[in-house]
């Protein structure tokens, strides 16, 4: 089926002329093909997001139809991995939504401080800015040396970048402002060294971090973590998949463990709303209600 240029439809410069049902069939076939061939399951990602990314790939690759795109994806492994980059939106920043970090300091740190050992899972960590932010915060609260942070993503390229901890100098003004708003106790520059237009974060921060490949759709639980942060990831999922992933988080959390979803996502209207207590409505910080075993 032919994609045609039109600036009036949706936010995408491309749309299907004609039968919308046929477009949905082609998108479904493409997602099935990807799942069967490569094991990546996008079948319950938001259709609006998928259509935008497919449209983008058709446009830059000069491919006319989704069927042709499917053919290329099935036979050309490298091309598939380029398309995977399109599907995984990696936009992030340090101390993003600083009010969430401020709330974290206020309501979560006093509880974590009472634990001998702390396990944290940051899901969908992209290039690692959120992870270094949390490591800095924990360092300032004297908790980093007894914390293990698991930072995961399904995109191997962003994980490699995260492991390096090297970022462009250009973003540091914004990140420093965020850091201060997040209750930062020093200067952000105390944690990095600048070189040739880039900054590299201190290796002492990485010591407590394990970066790992993990797919929220197809992989299993992490057991007994005290805190999960998953911000700006669930927005790309349909309700059914959001429920699945929140179920995974619920299973992975220890009793009274914390779940931070950030400003854009929430537990409202999910199957798990009544299994958590709301700690902060704006930062979407929740606490798992304890499950007591019957002995």
Ligand X SMILES: C[S@@+](CC[C@H](N)C(=O)[O-])C[C@H]1O[C@@H](n2cnc3c(N)ncnc32)[C@H](O)[C@@H]1O
Residues in contact with ligand X by CB under 6 A are 88-92, 96, 124-126, 130, 153-155, 158, 215-217, 231-233
- Both tokens of 244, joined, read 């699945």
Q: Which is nearer to ligand X, 33 or 235 (CB)?
A: 235
Q: Which residues pair with 147 in a beta bridge?
A: 118
3-state secondary structure of 34: helix
Put residue 241 in one of left, alpha, beta given phi > 0 → left and psi -120 to 50 → alpha.
alpha
Contacts of 294 (CB under 8 A, 6+ apart): none
Which residues, 6+ apart, have CB-to-CB distance to 20 below 8 Å?
none
Between 125 and 144, whose beta carbon lies closer to ligand X?
125
Number of alpha carbons in the 13 Å side-chain half-sphere of residue 154: 19
Nearer to ligand X, 69 or 241 (CB): 241
Give least dist CB 154 to ligand X, A: 4
Report, in Å, the least distance between residue 1 CB and ligand X.
27
- Spatial separation of the C-alpha atoms in residues 266 and 231, rounded to whole Å: 10
Please, what is the minimum distance in Å from the beta carbon of residue 7 to ligand X? 26
Residues 149, 146, 188, 180, CA torsion sign = positive
- Separation between Cα atoms, residue 36 and residue 30, nearest integer Å: 10
Q: Considering the complex, state which of residue 70 and residue 155 has its C-beta at the smaller distance from ligand X.
A: 155
Distance CA 290, CA 119 (A): 17
Give me the least distance between CB of 232 and ligand X, in Å please: 4
Of 90 and 266, which CB lies nearer to ligand X in the complex structure? 90
Nearer to ligand X, 208 or 284 (CB): 284
For residue 130, CA distances in Å to 7, 76, 84, 92, 258 come to 35, 33, 22, 7, 17
Whole-number Å distance between alpha carbons of 293 and 33: 43
For ligand X, the closer of residues 55 and 155 by Cβ is 155
The minimum distance between CB 64 and ligand X, in angstroms, equals 28
Minimum gap (Å) between residue 204 Cβ and ligand X: 22
Q: Supply the Cα-derived Rg of the chain in whole angstroms.
A: 21
Min dist. Cβ of residue 14 to ligand X (A) = 23
């Amino acid at each position: 089926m032919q994609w045609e240029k039109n600036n009036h439809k949706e936010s995408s410069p491309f749309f299907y002329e004609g039968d919308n049902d046929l477009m949905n069939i082609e998108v479904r076939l493409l997602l099935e093909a990807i799942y069967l061939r490569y094991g990546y399951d996008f079948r319950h990602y938001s259709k609006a997001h998928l259509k935008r990314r497919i449209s983008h790939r058709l446009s830059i690759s000069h491919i006319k139809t989704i069927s042709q795109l499917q053919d290329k994806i099935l036979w050309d492994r490298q091309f598939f991995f380029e398309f995977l980059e399109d599907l995984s939106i990696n936009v992030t920043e340090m101390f993003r939504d600083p009010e969430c970090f401020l709330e974290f300091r206020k309501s979560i740190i006093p509880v974590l401080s009472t634990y001998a050992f702390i396990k944290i899972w940051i899901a969908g960590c992209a290039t690692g800015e959120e992870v270094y932010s949390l490591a800095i915060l924990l360092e300032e609260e004297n908790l980093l040396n007894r914390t293990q942070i698991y930072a995961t993503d399904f995109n191997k390229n962003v994980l490699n970048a995260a492991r390096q901890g090297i970022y462009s100098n250009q973003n540091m003004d914004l990140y420093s402002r965020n850091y201060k708003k997040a209750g930062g106790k020093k200067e952000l520059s105390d944690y990095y060294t600048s070189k040739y237009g880039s900054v590299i974060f201190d290796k002492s921060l990485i010591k407590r971090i394990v970066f790992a490949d993990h797919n929220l759709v197809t992989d299993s639980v992490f057991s007994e973590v005290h805190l999960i942060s998953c911000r700006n990831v669930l927005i790309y999922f349909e309700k059914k998949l959001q429920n699945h992933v929140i179920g995974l988080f619920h299973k992975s959390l220890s009793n009274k463990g914390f779940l931070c979803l950030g400003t854009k996502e929430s537990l409202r209207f999910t199957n798990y709303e009544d299994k958590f207590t709301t700690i902060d409505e704006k930062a979407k910080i929740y606490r798992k209600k304890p499950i007591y075993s019957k002995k």
